[in-house]
Amino acid sequence: MARRHLTPLDWSTAALRAMAHGGVAAVSVNALAGELGTTRGSFYWHFKDRDALLTAALEVWEEGTTTALISELDDITDPRQRLTTLFTTALGQQEINGLEPAIVAHADHPAVAPILRRVTDRRIAYLTDLYTDLSLAPAAARRQAVVAYAAYLGWLELRRSASDIVPEVATTGTTATAALEHLLTELARSGKHQA
């Protein structure tokens, strides 16, 4: 049986899965090679070292969860619908469960910090623009953007750490759907009342 040629994306995705389950320390070249059914040589064909893999993996995460999502949302002209779609997508079924909280937990890691800061800045700026489009003054839009982003991060952390006692944060089910609708209503209402 011929071995499949692995790409940098294959390695990056495996690194993100490892990070979601065990943090940055779980991103081990040997462990990933075993998971991918290859040798360390394949890794070094694509990456200089482990930090280069971490950076590439985090850039894949940034592209998929921030850059591409914002690009898709730009096609929606109604800002309230954009907000709903943003949160429904961001809090929906995750490609790699637990990844976002794992990344945030390593905010001070030298490979994580610059990308996480860039993603956070871009997301809050996007939310600020979105709340400005909902007629909030710039300072109020920024405050609401921070509240909305904090709600997002908290929601994902609850899903990762306490989903058994907080079923409202699940990705499916009537309780989860009702809770998500309530969150969206409150985030949209906050934007309306602060204008």
Task: Read off the pLDDT of residues 8-42 as tens digits, 9 standing for 90 and up.
Answer: 999 999 999 999 999 999 999 999 999 999 988 88
pLDDT for 40 equals 87
Averaged pLDDT score across all residues of the chain: 91
pLDDT for 58 equals 98
Whole-model pTM: value is 0.90
Could you tell me what percent of the chain has a pLDDT over 90? Answer: 78
With 50 as the cut, is the pLDDT of residue 195 above it? Answer: no
Least confident of 12-26, 38-52, 134-148: 38-52
pLDDT for 1 equals 36
Residue listed under structure tokens 């899903």: 159
**Sequence-ordered list of residues with C-beta below 8 angstroms from that of 126, at least 6 positions apart, any chain:** 70
168 contacts 175 by C-beta, under 8 angstroms = yes
Q: CA–CA separation, 20 vs 191, rounded Å?
A: 33
Q: CA–CA separation, 26 vs 41, rounded Å?
A: 19
Query: Which tokens in the block code for residue 10?
Result: 């294959």
* Digit-coded pLDDT (tens) for 78-134: 999 999 999 999 998 888 989 999 999 999 999 999 999 999 999 999 999 999 999
Please classify residue 189 by burial: count the beta carbons closer than 10 Å to its beta carbon, then call 0-12 exposed, 13-18 middle and 19+ buried. Answer: exposed
Residue 57 pLDDT class (50, 70, 90 cuts): very high
pLDDT for 3 equals 54
pLDDT for 136 equals 94
